[in-house]
Amino acid sequence: MTRIHRRALLGAATLLPLPALAQSDWPNRPVRIIVPFPPGQASDIITRLVADELSKRWPQRVVVDNRAGGAGAPALEAGARAPADGYTLTAGTSGTLGVNPSVLPRVPYDSERDFAAISNVAMVPLLVIAHPSVPQHTMQALAEEARARPGALDMASAGPATSQHMAAELLMLRANIRFNIVHYRGSGPAIADVIAGNVKLMTDSVASALPHIRDGRVRAIALCSARRVPQLPEVPTIAETLVPGYQAAGWSGLVAPAGTPPEIIRRINADVVAVLREPAITERILSMGAVPDPMTPEEFTAFIRSEIATFREVARAANVRLDG
């Protein structure tokens, strides 16, 4: 091949749009999803479910890389600093993307600027539950009691700045009521104390509380989610019964490093949404106490921004801070 011919070919290649060059054969090697939690946590299980299904659709495997610790900040930093080529994704959650920016003194990433949103994957609905001895059976009655005796009613929390805690703080802020929040090291110890009657109220996830609700050990008062959920269709939402527009939930979605080619973002989004709409996958996620929640990249971007703004307001009003 002559030097002139080689130059002509190289010149033609440079005329191709960069996104086309970047994504023409994507993925041609395994895709990694960083999960900021240990194996077995809800976000990890749901992410692995989606990763397995994507592995069936793509010519390369999708592998999960668990990086627990530090309230998820080190994992999110690794995801933000990864090459923006579509080969490293991150499971961003209500805690790591929505809450951390407002409660950690030093966050080594910017939830809005450092990531390109792909889609939410699942919403983990929360609800207010009560020990069976609690005489109030509705959110309205519970709010009336809380207003009559501010701070006298104990409410268990899965820990400071968890989605359960922030949902309770948001409820108190929006409804102008006051509970005494009692923090535990996780949902398990908290709900155990509610079942024992040591603390009579709790904001918990449907996934954690559902078996105890069905066995009559605790009673569902109202859902924190915007809509009723298939697992408890008879339980009303707080928005229906007390505070119009109120919503709070845990969630887990997929993001990529900022600057990832839009064509790759759209490709991943289309396949993730298709996976989440498969009946078998829907049933698997529902069986875990979560709800599939596919979105467009634009919808997920707007949702993350809204969550950051909400949790910033709550953190400031309730002075919620974490060491880190």
Give the model confidence (pLDDT) of 152-185 as tens digits.
Answer: 999 999 999 999 999 999 999 999 999 999 999 9
Q: How confident is the model at residue 23 (pLDDT cuts 50, 70, 90)?
A: low
291-296 average pLDDT score:
97
Helix-helix angle 297-318:163-175, to 10 degrees: 70
The reply to whether 31-123+250-318 and 125-241 are identical in fold is: yes
- The pLDDT score that the predictor gives to residue 261 is 98
User: What distance in Å separates the CA atoms of residue 98 and residue 167, rounded to the nearest whole number?
Assistant: 12
Strand, helix or coil for residue 18: helix
- The pLDDT score that the predictor gives to residue 57 is 97
217 CB-near residues (< 8 Å, 6+ apart): 132, 195
For strand 154-157 and strand 201-205, is the pairing parallel, antiparallel, or unpaired? parallel
For strand 180-183 and strand 219-223, is the pairing parallel, antiparallel, or unpaired? unpaired
198-221 average pLDDT score:
96
CATH of domain 125-241: 3.40.190.10
Best CA proximity match to 158, nearest among 207, 89, 104, 211 = 207
Residue 126: pLDDT over 50: yes
Q: By CB neighbour count within 10 A (0-12 exposed, 13-18 middle, 19+ buried), where does 23 fall? A: buried
* Superfamily (CATH) of domain 31-123+250-318: Bordetella uptake gene, domain 1 (3.40.190.150)
Residue 118: pLDDT over 70: yes
User: What distance in Å separates the CA atoms of residue 221 and residue 209, rounded to the nearest whole number?
Assistant: 12
What percentage of the chain exceeds 70 in pLDDT?
92
- The pLDDT score that the predictor gives to residue 8 is 44
Domain spans in the chain, listed from the N-terminal domain onward? 31-123+250-318, 125-241
Which 3-state string (H, E, C) describes 240-286?
A: HHCCCCCCCEEEEEEEEECCCCHHHHHHHHHHHHHHHCCHHHHHHHH
Which 3-state string (H, E, C) describes 180-246?
A: EEEECCCHHHHHHHHHHCCCCEEEEEHHHHHHHHHCCCCEEEEECCCCCCCCCCCCCEHHHHCCCCC
Residue 2: pLDDT over 50: no
